[in-house]
Structure 1
Amino acid sequence: MILWCYVTYWIHKACSGFADMIFGNKIALLSGDYLLSNSCVELANLRNQELVELMSSAVRDLAEAEFVGLRDLQNAPLPARPKSDTKDYDVLIADNIEPLAVGEAMGNAKAEWTVRHILNAGSLLGKSCQGTLKLAGHPEELQRQGYLFGKHLALAWQAYLDREPFTPGSFGSFSLISAPVLFALQHDPSLYDFIEKGLDNVEDVDYEQVRERVMVGPALELTKNLQNDHSSAALDMLRKLPDSDARTALQNIIAAMQD
């Protein structure tokens, strides 16, 4: 039931994307809202206040993700201007119910990417795993490990997806807040001049020139390392669980993302 919240969110996002082609934007969004409200009703029927609070914080994180950083006039996200004095930033807080400190991360490539994607997906998947273990009556430490597993799995998958537009022969637009772009900005802040052209509309950005600049620097290798770090962290969490078919299936999912 908790994972239903996760699925519902992505259905809601997908409906928005296909709206104009099939049903029209309003009907698509209303369909997503209906599914989301249904999942909330089912969650309430579980009559577990701690679980409701946990999943409510995940929905809050999803909403906050839509307001992080700059956006163009069409509401497409843009990266923050890179900082010259980046510091280590720990996004793993002791109480994952509390909001993340977003402002400190902006302009720091790794921290900004991590915060954006914890809010956008890592929080929901992690808290869904945590909530499932809570419902099953497992101890709090194992619930915490479940959260970390889901969070790292979501981040590993996102890093994997972020690399795809920069494979040889790729063309077209891509996310300007993807890990390769953020790492490239950190390495070469002058690249931000190309990003700023998208303040009115991201279509004004010369994507091919940005792609070329990203591919000649260290950004892709850093993104690969980022993916490997989160994949390894997710596997470490899994190894703390007893052997089972479910654990093997999850390990296979992670292995499928590796080069």
Structure 2
Amino acid sequence: MRRWSVAAVRVSCQPSSSRTSPTPRFSRTYSGHTQQKRSFPAQSLATAQHAEPFLDPPPPLAATSHVRPDPYKLLAPQLHNVRETLLNLLGSAHPGLSEIAKYYFLHPSKQLRPLLVLLFSQATNGLGNGWHIKRWAAECEGAGGRSEELDRPLTRADVLNDYNPSMPDHTASFEDSFSLKAPPHPRKLPIPPPASFANNSPVLSSPPFLLPTQIRLAQIVEMIHVASLLHDDVIDKSPLRRGTLSAPAAFGNKLSVLAGDFLLGRTSAALSRLGSNEVVELIASVIANLVEGEILQLKSIHGEELGITGAPAVGREYFNIYLQKTYMKTASLMAKGARAAVVLGGCKEGEIWKEIAYAYGRNLGIAFQLVDDILDYESGEAALGKPGGADLQLGLATGPALFAWEEHPEMGPLIKRKFQQEGDVELARDLVRRSSGVERTRDLARNHADKAREVLVLLPDSDAKGALEALTERVVKRTW
């Protein structure tokens, strides 16, 4: 296995010799998925092209013994900062809208998605060929990567007929007619330092360094997640969200939908400031995935009444749609958020680091949702703030029920009629208890978590890498 070294990277606004390196060469394609025995086959995932062969496969999760950094403790100050400063992005001229938009942010949160962004940032910063430019932009005034530049009001001061509490009076006021104002001459942009190819190996930034753009990305992915919760709770008619009133129950459906839309608008403006077209495309595709996943879920529950054709007909098709929906509604944001973090750190086309981030996030996200679906059937469901069998009551057949169908054919008619008849939910829960559905779903979650951990072998050792490894274990073992 290649040996990696760690050295400090220093970059200034003055043109200077800064380290970049050729992309490491790898000799074999790595596939991030294996078939699960006794189960419907999950869709295969080619996680990284040109991957370096493993010397030995990593041991299964249960066999690991060395202590790894706690991911939340490792980045506790940064996560606290992300949460505190995030509220500054939500300002609106309508106090009620701001209140609803902030509603879920003020409740306890796992912050898993921003955690992934920050961990992959620390685990890869310095490795990409474009790192020296990103580090320079984070420190040089006018380059667009400093915190002060990212924190300017999201509504531009020169945009006609817009309003925000932090806007200057000459733009915010509607009492006077808007007069033509000549724009200032564009400021000459600083010139980035030239590249140097003095080193032949990728080197991690030391000490670990987070770019302001990566911190802002962590906030953006959390805002998108919360926007999806606001919309989901309206669609699902959920009265509770983790033990407290859901936003629709507290404020009504219309305001909750509008608050979710407002959050997505704010994220779009914040996203454009990050200075990467690739990152904009990645995160924009996440929003599309969330909608596509919700359509898949609606099709499986209310397809006929909504006029959505193509409802699944057989068991395997149900399972394939279930995994596809799981990726779109949960794993997509984790996978593409992690990949975007690595891109912001200077990883370019053809470098392995962003492939690792995507493969890890996809597998971890699917494992996370599979465990979430298990908790709906176990005693830990109370920690989720929803009644037992909530998915069944919504008409959803998740992993445990679909696996139980293989062992108990009488589950099929219940799934196809969406558990709508009296006694269907109770019977379905009993069939799941009498089957190996829960354990098989947990096995599938372990399989995805194992694959997430395996791809990390290609990263140089660091505390962030150790924390990412620890996270694969915590996701499977969690009871929250």
Give the TM-score, by structure 2 length: 0.44
Q: 1:146 aligns with which of 345, 353, 357?
A: 357
Task: Tell me the equivalent position of 2:450.
Answer: 232
1 CA distance for matches of 2:421 and 2:289? 28
Matched ranges for 1:72-221 at <5 A:
72=302, 80-83=312-315, 86=316, 106-107=317-318, 109=319, 111-139=320-348, 140-167=351-378, 172-175=388-391, 176-198=396-418, 202=420, 206-221=424-439
1 CA distance for matches of 2:285 and 2:380? 41
| Secondary structure of the corresponding residue to residue 22 of structure 1 | helix
Which has the bigger relative contact order, CA under 8 A and spacing at least 6? Answer: 2
Query: What amino acid is aligned across from residue 281 of structure 2 in structure 1?
Result: E
**How far does the alpha carbon of each residue in 1:54-74 deviate from its partner, in whole angstroms, 9 at most, with x for none?**
222221111111111322389
Q: 1:71 aligns with which of 301, 326, 342?
A: 301
Deviation at 1:177? 3.0
RMSD: 2.6
Deviation at 1:126? 0.3
Compare CA radii of gyration and give the structure with the larger one. Answer: 2
Tell me if the contact between 1:15 and 1:32 (Cα under 8 Å) persists in the aligned partners. Answer: yes
1 CA distance for matches of 2:470 and 2:437? 27
Deviation at 1:205? 6.2
Deviation at 1:113? 2.6
- Of the structure 1 ranges 217-226 and 150-159, higher mean CA displacement relative to structure 2 is found in 217-226
Tell me if the contact between 2:371 and 2:445 (Cα under 8 Å) persists in the aligned partners. Answer: yes
1 CA distance for matches of 2:431 and 2:226? 34
1 CA distance for matches of 2:218 and 2:292? 20
**How far does the alpha carbon of each residue in 1:222-250 deviate from its partner, in whole angstroms, 9 at most, with x for none?**
11110110110111122322222222222
Matched ranges for 1:1-40 at <5 A:
1-16=216-231, 17=233, 18-40=246-268
Deviation at 1:44? 1.3
Tell me if the contact between 1:194 and 1:205 (Cα under 8 Å) persists in the aligned partners. Answer: no
| Secondary structure of the corresponding residue to residue 66 of structure 1 | helix
Task: Figure out how many residues of one structure are paired with residues of the other and give that number.
Answer: 231
Task: Tell me the equivalent position of 1:61.
Answer: 289
1 CA distance for matches of 2:336 and 2:475? 22
Deviation at 1:194? 1.7
Deviation at 1:169? 9.3
1 CA distance for matches of 2:293 and 2:472? 25
Residues 203 and 129 from structure 1, CA distance in 2 versus in 1: closer, same or farther, beyond 3 angstroms? Answer: farther
Tell me if the contact between 1:82 and 1:186 (Cα under 8 Å) persists in the aligned partners. Answer: no
Query: What amino acid is aligned across from residue 165 of structure 1 in structure 2?
Result: D
Task: Tell me the equivalent position of 1:99.
Answer: none
Which structure's residues are more often helix, by fraction? 1
Could you tell me which runs of 5 or more consecutive residues in structure 2 were left unpaired when the two chains were aligned: 1-215, 234-245, 382-386
Residues 205 and 48 from structure 1, CA distance in 2 versus in 1: closer, same or farther, beyond 3 angstroms? Answer: farther
| Secondary structure of the corresponding residue to residue 459 of structure 2 | coil
1 CA distance for matches of 2:286 and 2:325? 13
Residues 136 and 114 from structure 1, CA distance in 2 versus in 1: closer, same or farther, beyond 3 angstroms? Answer: same
Q: 1:44 aligns with which of 261, 272, 278?
A: 272
Could you tell me which runs of 5 or more consecutive residues in structure 1 were left unpaired when the two chains were aligned: 87-105
Deviation at 1:211? 0.9
Task: Tell me the equivalent position of 2:463.
Answer: 245
Query: What amino acid is aligned across from residue 37 of structure 1 in structure 2?
Result: G
2 CA distance for matches of 1:188 and 1:152? 29
Residues 243 and 203 from structure 1, CA distance in 2 versus in 1: closer, same or farther, beyond 3 angstroms? Answer: farther
Tell me if the contact between 1:184 and 1:214 (Cα under 8 Å) persists in the aligned partners. Answer: yes
Tell me if the contact between 1:198 and 1:205 (Cα under 8 Å) persists in the aligned partners. Answer: no
Deviation at 1:154? 0.7
1 CA distance for matches of 2:314 and 2:283? 33
Tell me if the contact between 1:181 and 1:219 (Cα under 8 Å) persists in the aligned partners. Answer: yes
